[in-house]
Amino acid sequence: MAKFILLFLKLLAILYTVQAVFEDQVGKFDWKQQYVGSVRFAHFDNQIQSSKKVLVATEKNVFAAINTRTGELFWRHVDKTGPEGNIDALLLQGQDAVMVVGDGRILRSWEVNVGGLNWEMVLDSGSFQSASLVGHQEHVKYVAVLKKAAISLHYLSNGHQKWIENLPESDSVDYQSVYSEGKGEVFVLGLVPHSHITVVVYSIDDGEILKQFTVEAPWMPDLQSSCSVIGKGMLTCVDAGSLSLNMLDLHAHSEMNQIPLQSIGLEVSSGFRPVLVSSQPNAARPPLSEFFLQIGPDQHVLLQLNKGQILTLRDFKPAMLVSFATTGEKTVAAVMSLILYINLFSAETGRRLLDTTLIFTMDPNGGKPEKLYVQAFLKKDDSVGYRVIVQTEDHQLTFIQQPGRVLWTREEALSDVVTMEMVDLPLTATQAELEGEFGKKADGLMSMVLKRLSSQLILLQAWLSHLWKLFYDARQPRSQVKNEVTIENLSRDEFNLQKMMVMVTASGKLFGIDSKTGTIVWKHYLDNVPSNAAFKLMVQRTTAHFPHPPQCTLLIKDKDTGLATLHVFNPIYGKKSHVTPPLLPQPILQSMLLPLMDQDYAKVLLLVDDQYKVSAFPSTKNVLQQLQDVASSVFFFLIDANQGRLSGYRLRTDLSTELIWEVVIPAEVQKIVTVNGKKANEHVHSQGRVMGDRSVLYKYLNPNLLALVTESTDQHQERSFVGIILIDGVTGRIIHEAVQRKARGPVHIVHSENWVVYEYWSTKSRRVEFSVIELYEGMELYNSTVFSSLDRPHAPQVLQQSYIFPSAISAMDATLTEKGITSRHLLIGLPSGGILSLPKMFLDPRRPEIVSEQSREENLIPYAPELPIRTEWFINYNQSVLRVRGIHTAPSGLESTCLVVAYGLDIYQTRVYPSKQFDVLKDDYDYMLISSVLLALFFATMISKRLAEVKLLNRAWR
Amino acid sequence: MHIERIPLLWLLLQATLVVTWGFNAEMDTGPSAGAFAQSNSDRFKIEGRAIVSGIKPQDWVSSARVLVEGEEYVGFLRTDGSFAVNDIPPGSYVVEIISPTFRFEPVRVDITSKGKMRARLVNYIKTSEVIRQPYPLQVRASGPHSYFMKRETWGWTDFLMNPMVMMMILPLLIIVLLPKVVNTNDPEMRKEMEQSMNMLNPNPELPDVSELMTKLFSGSKGSSKTGGSSKGARPAVKRR
């Protein structure tokens, strides 16, 4: 019976905190955007004329089918990250897409229509060189995979290996490409750099070496970048040194035939390395005898190989990108000129096809076009039509139809969001007017009254026009109502639920996204960002200081050199600010945003360089004056993860620094993984917790507390450990230290209020475990008005408890609300794609093992070792968010509501209500019921009144 | 009812534990060996099949994945629902089939350094417990995920069947309707009613019910008659 009661209580507690999405809320305030990453290979599905698929394999190890009508995904397969999931090659044959994955480790074939796997084969180890479809007697039946030391041939139908052969002299010869033209032979081309080319010919049937010969080529550094097979087995290489084409007939092994480019009237731009572009539309037939030769940064020549002679078909002088496309029996060449016109040319003759001009309008805030993927199709009158996908440097894909209509764009840069901020939207002009009224100095009673009246009139007018718009929209069919989001109509709503999401991506493209609809309001491509940059985004001025525009600063730091640049911009419009940021000649070690403001209400950013000198931005006189005043209370810390050194510094009035403490964690034993402070915009509402006996347990709320996570360098599962150190950032005092033995990372940590939650992998039990540390001052508060790190003599009480979590974790954060009254939930991104909202109540070190009257009074859930995962707690229901990299939480104007953005491969935005919507009417509030009850009551009183009157009258008559 | 069944199930599980296989001694070395065997030579594959009864695999495989130990190894489903995750060193792994629509139970798969495989139920608390599952894996979907809470809907029947409302409405009906049904002006009827009232309250000197109750609870043992009445009242309360 006691157990029953216990269970019942537990259930009750769970029900009490339950928070879930209702089915009718789907898509109401949440949205998801799916991405695939920067495209590496793209193939149009051309097997049927009406097909609307484009298959892409990306740098993010994703293989997906995109709908060419809408730009949305049909399906998507996400492999593991890192080199083991890396897609080396993608070949498309009919309904099958063959992929080589993980440096030639796995060969996969996909069914393109369904998106399911046909087969998967593990190949022998060896670094991957090249893969090619092999045709035989007009049918493509095999795929050849060339590795460093072996070549293997597999059946396309089931992946089984037909044969595998070792390559001769593979330790000296670098075999780089494989070629076949459907004649029962497979050519393998190898190279000894700066010496000779080796050609090995295998028989398709049994892998027997039919022929083997070498050709002198002392000038050739690399086969793949300079050679290509053209026409009927003519290996054509371009020599950048002597500026000539070298041709070798693979069937008749002869010497290389050199044709100087000047002899066919071509002039190569000085210093440019010519590049060959050829095409083999069908693996069972020889490649085209036409090819492009790029002889300058913006010059391409279409050449034809005709009976051993090279003919120039056409010279494209300003041509940025070229591409071949085949439909049916026709092959065309698409050429993009410098002024971004795309034209189609017949590949055989080089003649321009009529009415094939397509205009690509480049975004001034985007990057340059990088790749061109052409989908050609036959029109009814047998002429060739086409559509193109243009890929630009900033990973944007644009699908264009003639004569330049953009069908869709995909911002694949958003698959790699590094950091983000949510910025309040500005007030509308009328709202700003109203606000302004309170700020101004009083100037006479009469004018104040007049001003008040006029502003009320403006409000009334705005309200009326709003009503009119509602009425007008209601009359129109729903599809016609345009709800376009533009910069002009963006304004703060009454609960501040709509915000501007400023997202920074690894490619250096910045985005401003409206949080309500997910519309990209602005984008800005920074083209000089180093590839290994670290970003830090800071909001220097919010929208609250009306005449001054809001201001964000992005610190871009090269991870190798430490050199940094600042990009200052307006987060609402995306425009670069007029404020010129300081040049930073020295490597930057640390940056911090102080709560100090200059006369224009911009917060002061301090940058510490490697000479331990501090510079401020903005650095006006006013700021420097303020800095001098507060210098003695400005502390900062630096981490040197390599040496395991954590050091604390204090600012001097002359903006130099002095070392005040240093903690060394021996780097031979353990390494620092993360250092986690508290969020600056976090509010804690209650100072303590009321216990069962009505006493108060006060929280230890140290704003300077840092949580330091270390991992052992010894990875042996018996000796590895995870350490956590809580350290005061001002004094360097170690508040608490805990070690989790037989554990290893990856460690995810959330540090907030008076608690730290961290997660690690237990090697002993092979499971994920959570641990929570809570810090309390005790029953009495030392100094309740202000917290000072320098004056806290008593060490806090530390409570800790651990739990089992039945899943791995990809990211973790905690909800955040305006005033911190609402109970906290942990938001946990799972590898399955769900985002779990786990009440912090479950991670409470005071959860008792034995239920007592007091713990029940406190609403503590009895301890259970395993934390529950319930799909009802997934805030994103079936909208899986894959590879969650970070979860950003921001408070809204409503205390009950927290805005959540999860980003990774996908972006998902929603609102959560950790304690339900206690401050607004629920969205299922039944207005009909309440009004009908009121009306009914009203009529009932009327009728009963009348009846009573009649009765009284009757009685009086009696 | 459900709640009480859970411990029972537990017992059953533990009972099955007693009759598990003599595989343990060998297995315990398996995972630890797995940690070292990072070399490329000993790599194995986990095979199995996922089944959703009543639904063609083509309709759901494109959105599903097989995750081994989080995202450490990833496998994909073939168009017939079968799968194989390649290139896995010896060790012990939790294999999950992830689908946004269907729920599959995870399975723990142990691979010895010799490549011997076995599958068992996942138990994070008693990690060494072995309840065998078939290998190659046969994972059946246990139904669709339930992501949504049900809205509290408002219906007339719910409202009327509410005990509070019933308690309010029934006396109201009696007060309003009874005088209408029974003609009080009829002297015969009035007489009858008075009689019945007397029947109900035969002795006006007897204490009324409330007084009786106070007596009962103040400690003085009531007569056998009151005891019986209280007994009769209790089940009635419980029933509600």
The residue of chain A with its CA nearest to that of B56 is A114
What's the pLDDT score for residue A483?
A: 57
Does the pLDDT value for residue B202 go beyond 70? Answer: no
What's the pLDDT score for residue A438?
A: 62
User: For B68-116, what is each residue's pLDDT tens digit?
Assistant: 988 889 999 988 888 999 888 998 899 999 998 899 999 999 999 888 8
The residue of chain B with its CA nearest to that of A762 is B124
CB contact under 8 A, B146 and A872: yes
What's the pLDDT score for residue A233?
A: 81
Q: Give residue A368's pLDDT band: very low, low, confident or very high (50, 70, 90).
A: confident
What's the pLDDT score for residue A482?
A: 52
- Greatest mean pLDDT among A288-302, A933-947, B162-176 lies in A933-947
Does the pLDDT value for residue B28 go beyond 50? Answer: no
Structure tokens at A436: 């302004």
Does the pLDDT value for residue B12 go beyond 60? Answer: no
CB atoms < 10 A from the CB of A248, how many? 22
Q: Which residues of A touch B146 (CB under 8 A)?
A: 871-872
User: For A1-38, what is each residue's pLDDT tens digit?
Assistant: 444 444 444 444 444 445 677 877 888 888 999 999 99
Whether A540 and A448 have beta carbons less than 8 Å apart is answered as no
Within an 8 Å CB–CB cutoff, is residue B79 touching chain A? yes
- For the ranges A5-9, A312-316, A361-365, B97-101, which has the lowest average pLDDT? A5-9
Q: What is the mean pLDDT of residues A205-228?
A: 83
What's the pLDDT score for residue A270?
A: 78
Across the A:B interface, residue pairs with CB atoms under 8 Å apart total 131
Q: What is the mean pLDDT of residues A802-809?
A: 92
The residue of chain A with its CA nearest to that of B63 is A75
Which residues 225-264 of A have a C-beta within 8 angstroms of B?
Answer: none
Sheet arrangement for strand A96-101: A87-93, A96-101, A106-111, A117-122
User: For A149-205, what is each residue's pLDDT tens digit?
Assistant: 888 889 988 888 888 888 888 788 888 888 888 778 888 888 888 888 888 888 888
Does the pLDDT value for residue A535 go beyond 90? Answer: yes
Q: Peptide bond before B136: cis, by omega within 30 degrees of 0?
A: yes
CB atoms < 10 A from the CB of B14, how many? 11
Whether A71 and B53 have beta carbons less than 8 Å apart is answered as no
Whether A175 and A132 have beta carbons less than 8 Å apart is answered as no
Q: A interface mutation test: which of B5, B6, B45, B62 has the most A CBs within 10 A? A: B62
- The Cα B153–Cα A928 span in angstroms is 13
CA distance B101 to chain A (A): 7
Q: What are phi and psi of A854, to 5 degrees?
A: -70, -45
Q: How far is CA A460 from CA A396, A427, A466, A494, B122, in A?
A: 45, 17, 10, 16, 64
What's the pLDDT score for residue A199?
A: 87
Nearest to residue A674, comparing CAs of A609, A574, A601, A756? A756
Does the pLDDT value for residue A255 go beyond 80? Answer: no
Task: Tell me which of A462 and A486 has the higher pLDDT.
Answer: A462
CA distance B204 to chain A (A): 34
| Percent of chain A clearing pLDDT 70 (strictly above) | 95
- For the ranges A480-494, A836-850, B71-85, which has the lowest average pLDDT? A480-494
Whether A114 and B79 have beta carbons less than 8 Å apart is answered as yes
CB contact under 8 A, A874 and B147: yes
CB contact under 8 A, A85 and B74: yes
Of B31, B73, B125, the CB nearest to A80: B73
CB contact under 8 A, B98 and A81: no
CA distance A479 to chain B (A): 28
Residue A825 burial (10 A CB sphere; 0-12, 13-18, 19+)? buried
Parallel/antiparallel/unpaired status of strands A150-155 and A645-651:
unpaired
What is the rounded average pLDDT for all residues in chain A?
Answer: 86
Q: Which residues of B touch A877 (CB under 8 A)?
A: 147-148
Does the pLDDT value for residue A363 go beyond 70? Answer: yes
Q: Give residue B209's pLDDT band: very low, low, confident or very high (50, 70, 90).
A: low
The residue of chain B with its CA nearest to that of A64 is B62
Parallel/antiparallel/unpaired status of strands A645-651 and A635-640:
antiparallel
Within an 8 Å CB–CB cutoff, is residue B76 touching chain A? yes
Structure tokens at A73: 């995904």
Q: What is the ipTM of this complex?
A: 0.82
Structure tokens at B188: 């015969």
What's the pLDDT score for residue A749?
A: 94
User: For A874-920, what is each residue's pLDDT tens digit?
Assistant: 998 888 999 999 999 999 989 999 999 999 999 999 999 988 888 88
CB contact under 8 A, B79 and A111: yes
User: For B29-41, what is each residue's pLDDT tens digit?
Assistant: 333 333 333 444 5
User: For A705-756, what is each residue's pLDDT tens digit?
Assistant: 999 999 998 888 888 999 999 999 888 889 999 998 999 888 999 999 899 9
